[in-house]
Amino acid sequence: MDPLLLARLQFATTTSLHFLFVVVTLGLVTLLVGLQTAWAITGNPAYERLTRFWGQLYVINYVLGIGTGLLMEFQFGLNWSGLSRYVGNVFGAPLAIETLVAFFLESTFLGMWIFGWHRLRRGVHLALLWGVALTAYASAFWIMVANAWLQHPVGYEVRDGVAHLTDFGALLTNPTLGLAFGHVVAAALLTGGMLMAAVSAWHLIRRTPDHALFRASLRIGLVTAAVSISLVQGFGFAQFGPVGQAQPTKFGGGAQRDALVAEWAARFGPGDYTPPVLADVGLGFMILIGFLLGGLWLLLPLLWRDWVIRLRFPLWLVLLALPLPFVAVILGWIAREVGRQPWVAYGLLSTERAVSPVAPGVMLASLIGFTLLLGGLAVANWVLFARHAARGAADPALGRRPGPAADDPRPVPVLG
């Protein structure tokens, strides 16, 4: 058993599963902000009901996502001591900011928002959700700053065999950061929109009593997903230029790649400095899914006079297409992360030098343990998510008024 291979499999398992939680969280919180803002402006109780329903699903995903994030941090500490020792002074700076500023604030705002229903003024309660969303975006930004540095190390110098940060501003202007961050945010909005549209389609297919509410959330989800897929495509294709310049080995051959490989061979010794074929496979299938989801624009004209509901087959299409954004997210992660191999920090620190000196048996045991824990969290998340989604929006537990009269029995107004 190769400890390096086991460590890479463990990293792939923990980070990819955690990333699925992240995109759902980031996508849903953006839609929640829109729903609660509409409720605050219009006073329409239908928007309140939708906020409570989707907010409950958001909280389930957020709480279990924290568990996957903690497991990811543990595997970092256990398996990649070489990374921490060599580039921790640089790589750790944005991660520390993300943890101290973004994550703690986000969790605090979310806790106050959850327990603030009917206790805080409507404007204060809305401001808390805006705080949750903004800190979630800040958290994603600082994670991408750290990842972009691994993709293209900048603003550092090596002293005594250790990389030290010399230019913090260079981290923020990294050519592999801006477009990649936009791509991730657009992918999260696409995932959140598709999730909202698919759950709504399922209720409309079953003709549940909350027809008016899910008709509205279907429209919101479809429009969000259609706009987002165009942004995903735009940010994705726009990255080929700057990423190709920063990482000449990622997208094929050429004189620049050959010269860089020759330089690495002279500095670090002979070896295979081209990324595995898996990176190209992931990129190709991700692009294919992106083009397929571009067909969401064809469903928007069917929103006129509710033809998307009357015909019914578009609802099935939306429901069946739900896994595609999640698959594309994983494929995009493979293209970005595997595409920089054999480097953990491109051209600076090889993956082989970054792994911890752990015995193969111990590494295998931790891989099995982490995989079982992550699998359990993922299954628990989707079981709880599906169970609460199936109950409908009649009386969500989140935001329920205290006392025997949980909700206003009057019918919810129909949203246009």
Residue-wise pLDDT for 10-44, tens only, equals 999 999 999 999 999 999 999 999 999 999 999 99
In this prediction, residues 215-231 reach a mean pLDDT of 97
| Structural domain harbouring 74 | 14-153+171-244+272-390
- Beta bridge partners, 158, equal 163
Residue type for position 136: A
pTM listed for this prediction: 0.93
Task: Reply yes or no on whether the pLDDT at 297 is more than 50.
Answer: yes
Domain-located, residue 30: yes
Q: What are phi and psi of 163, to 5 degrees?
A: -80, 135
Domain-located, residue 175: yes
Domain-located, residue 253: no
Per-residue CA distances from 117 to 61, 110, 131, 185 (Å): 20, 12, 16, 28
The whole-number pLDDT of residue 410 equals 46
Domain-located, residue 397: no
Domain-located, residue 401: no
The whole-number pLDDT of residue 413 equals 54
Task: Reply yes or no on whether the pLDDT at 406 is more than 50.
Answer: no
Q: What percent of the chain has pLDDT over 70?
A: 97
Name the strand (E) or helix (H) holding 164. strand 162-165
Domain-located, residue 407: no
pLDDT classification of 404: cutoffs 50, 70, 90: low
The whole-number pLDDT of residue 190 equals 97
Mean of all residue pLDDT scores within the chain: 90
pLDDT digits (tens, 9 = 90+) for 336-380: 999 999 999 999 999 999 998 988 898 999 899 989 999 999 999
What pairing do the DSSP bridges indicate for beta strands 349-350 and 156-159? unpaired
> How many Cα atoms within 13 Å fall on the side-chain side of residue 407?
17
Q: Using CA atoms, how far apart are residues 21 and 188, in angstroms rounded to an integer? A: 10
The whole-number pLDDT of residue 403 equals 65
Q: What are phi and psi of 322, to 5 degrees?
A: -55, -40
- Domain count along the chain: 1
pLDDT classification of 409: cutoffs 50, 70, 90: very low
Q: Using CA atoms, how far apart are residues 317 and 181, in angstroms rounded to an integer? A: 29
In this prediction, residues 83-96 reach a mean pLDDT of 87
Are the C-beta atoms of 179 and 238 separated by less than 8 Å?
Answer: yes
Q: Taking the mean position of all CA atoms in its chain, how far away is CA 204?
A: 27
Q: Using CA atoms, how far apart are residues 242 and 151, in angstroms rounded to an integer? A: 11
In this prediction, residues 76-94 reach a mean pLDDT of 86
Domain-located, residue 181: yes
Burial of 260 (0-12, 13-18, 19+ CB in 10 A): middle
pLDDT classification of 75: cutoffs 50, 70, 90: confident
The whole-number pLDDT of residue 255 equals 85
Domain-located, residue 7: no
CA 314-318-321 angle, to 5 degrees, is 130
Cα-Cα-Cα-Cα dihedral sign, residues 250, 322, 103, 367: negative
pLDDT classification of 271: cutoffs 50, 70, 90: confident
pLDDT classification of 412: cutoffs 50, 70, 90: low
**SS3 for 157?**
strand
In this prediction, residues 238-254 reach a mean pLDDT of 88
In this prediction, residues 399-410 reach a mean pLDDT of 61
